[in-house]
Structure 1
Amino acid sequence: MSVTATHQEALPVPLIKNRNFLLLFFSAFLSSPGYYVYLIGAEWLMLSLSDNRFYFGMLFLGASIPRLLLLSTGGVVADRFNKRFILFMSDLARAILIIVLIAFLLTDTVSAWHLITLAALFGISDAFSYPVINSLTPMVLEKDQLQRGNSLIQMTAQISPIAGPALGGTLIAVLGFTGVFMVAMCMLLVASIIVLFIRLKKEDEEEKVIQTLWADLKEGFVYAKKNHLIISVVSMAFFLNFFFTGPFTIGIPIIVKDIFEGSAVSLAMVQTAMGVGALLGAVFLAVVSLKKPGKAIIWGLVGLGLIYTTIGSSSVLLLTVILVLVMAFVMQVVNIPIMTLLQQTTEKRMLGRMMSLLMTVSTGLVPISYAATSLLIAIGVEIQAIIIVSGIIITGIALNTLRNKRLKAFVTS
Structure 2
Amino acid sequence: MFRSLKARNYRLWASGQIVSLVGTWMQRVAQDWLVLTLSGGNALAVGIVMALQFGPTLVLSVWGGVLADRYDKRKILIATQVSMAVFAAVLAALDLGGVVELWHVYVLAFAAGCASAIDAPVRQSFTIELVGRELLSNAIALNSMTFNLARIVGPAISGVLITLVGTGLVFAINVVSFGCVIAALVLMDQSKLTSVEHATKARGQIREGFSYVWGRTDLRVLLLTVFMVSTFGMNFPISLAVLARNTFGLGADAYGFLSTALAVGTLAGATLAARRTRPVRIKIFLVAATAFGALEIAVGAMPTFALVAVALVPTGAVVLTFTTSAMNILQMSVASDMRGRVMGIYMLCFLGGTPLGSPVLGWLADVTSPRAPLLVGGVISLAAGLAGGAYLLLKHSDDPVEKSRGEAAGTGRAELEGSVNRID
**TM-score scaled to structure 2, two decimals?**
0.87
Does residue 39 of structure 1 match 2:28?
A: yes
Distance 1:340 1:37 in 2: 28
One-letter amino acid of the counterpart of residue 391, structure 1:
G
Q: 1:339 is matched with which residue: 327, 330, 347?
A: 327
Distance 1:261 1:53 in 2: 14
**Aligned ranges for residues 193-212 of structure 1 at < 5 Å?**
193-201=183-191, 210-212=200-202
Does residue 354 of structure 1 match 2:337?
A: no
Q: Cα deviation per residue 1:341-367 (whole Å; 9 max; x = unaligned)?
A: 111111112211110011213444321
1:106 aligned partner: 96
Q: 1:134 is matched with which residue: 124, 130, 136?
A: 124
Per-residue deviation at 1:272?
Answer: 0.7
**Aligned ranges for residues 10-409 of structure 1 at < 5 Å?**
14-51=3-40, 52-201=42-191, 210-212=200-202, 214-246=203-235, 248-290=236-278, 293-378=281-366, 380-403=367-390, 404-405=392-393, 406=397, 408=399
Alpha-carbon distance change, 352 to 179 in structure 1, aligned in 2, over 3 angstroms? same
Q: Cα deviation per residue 1:289-344 (whole Å; 9 max; x = unaligned)?
A: 34553222122122111110011112211111111111110111121121111111
SS of the residue 1:143 aligns to: coil
Per-residue deviation at 1:34?
Answer: 1.4
2:409 aligned partner: none
2:416 aligned partner: none
Distance 1:306 1:368 in 2: 22
Give the conservation status (yes or no) of the 8 Å contact 2:65–2:121: yes
Distance 2:143 2:376 in 1: 33
Distance 2:256 2:97 in 1: 27
SS of the residue 2:246 aligns to: helix
Alpha-carbon distance change, 409 to 216 in structure 1, aligned in 2, over 3 angstroms? closer
Alpha-carbon distance change, 399 to 284 in structure 1, aligned in 2, over 3 angstroms? same
Give the conservation status (yes or no) of the 8 Å contact 1:140–1:200: no
Per-residue deviation at 1:136?
Answer: 0.9
Give the conservation status (yes or no) of the 8 Å contact 1:245–1:366: no
Distance 1:303 1:206 in 2: 36
One-letter amino acid of the counterpart of residue 130, structure 2:
V
Range 128-137 or range 199-208, more displaced: 199-208
One-letter amino acid of the counterpart of residue 36, structure 1:
W
Range 59-68 or range 359-368, more displaced: 359-368
RMSD between aligned residues: 2.4
Alpha-carbon distance change, 389 to 50 in structure 1, aligned in 2, over 3 angstroms? closer
Distance 1:328 1:336 in 2: 12
Alpha-carbon distance change, 375 to 258 in structure 1, aligned in 2, over 3 angstroms? closer
One-letter amino acid of the counterpart of residue 377, structure 2:
S
One-letter amino acid of the counterpart of residue 15, structure 2:
F
One-letter amino acid of the counterpart of residue 8, structure 2:
R
One-letter amino acid of the counterpart of residue 22, structure 2:
P
Give the conservation status (yes or no) of the 8 Å contact 2:43–2:238: no
Distance 1:351 1:249 in 2: 29
Give the conservation status (yes or no) of the 8 Å contact 1:165–1:272: yes
Per-residue deviation at 1:200?
Answer: 3.6
Alpha-carbon distance change, 55 to 76 in structure 1, aligned in 2, over 3 angstroms? same
- Give percent identity, aligned residues only: 24
Per-residue deviation at 1:76?
Answer: 0.9
Structure 1 gap segments, 5+ residues each: 1-12
Distance 1:222 1:57 in 2: 32
Per-residue deviation at 1:205?
Answer: 7.1
Alpha-carbon distance change, 70 to 270 in structure 1, aligned in 2, over 3 angstroms? same
Per-residue deviation at 1:108?
Answer: 1.7
One-letter amino acid of the counterpart of residue 126, structure 2:
L
Distance 1:270 1:407 in 2: 39
Give the conservation status (yes or no) of the 8 Å contact 2:48–2:355: no
Per-residue deviation at 1:63?
Answer: 0.6
Distance 2:94 2:372 in 1: 37
Give the conservation status (yes or no) of the 8 Å contact 1:139–1:348: no
Distance 2:250 2:53 in 1: 26
Give the conservation status (yes or no) of the 8 Å contact 1:235–1:362: no
Give the conservation status (yes or no) of the 8 Å contact 1:402–1:408: no
Give the conservation status (yes or no) of the 8 Å contact 1:80–1:207: no
Per-residue deviation at 1:178?
Answer: 2.6
Give the conservation status (yes or no) of the 8 Å contact 2:197–2:336: no
One-letter amino acid of the counterpart of residue 136, structure 1:
F
**TM-score scaled to structure 1, two decimals?**
0.89
User: After TM superposition, which residue ranges in structure 1, 4 or more long, deviate above 4 angstroms?
Assistant: 201-210, 407-413
Alpha-carbon distance change, 117 to 202 in structure 1, aligned in 2, over 3 angstroms? same
One-letter amino acid of the counterpart of residue 402, structure 1:
G
Give the conservation status (yes or no) of the 8 Å contact 1:33–1:164: yes
Distance 2:212 2:92 in 1: 44
Alpha-carbon distance change, 108 to 275 in structure 1, aligned in 2, over 3 angstroms? same
2:415 aligned partner: none
SS of the residue 1:383 aligns to: coil
Per-residue deviation at 1:240?
Answer: 2.3
Give the conservation status (yes or no) of the 8 Å contact 1:31–1:91: no
Per-residue deviation at 1:223?
Answer: 2.9
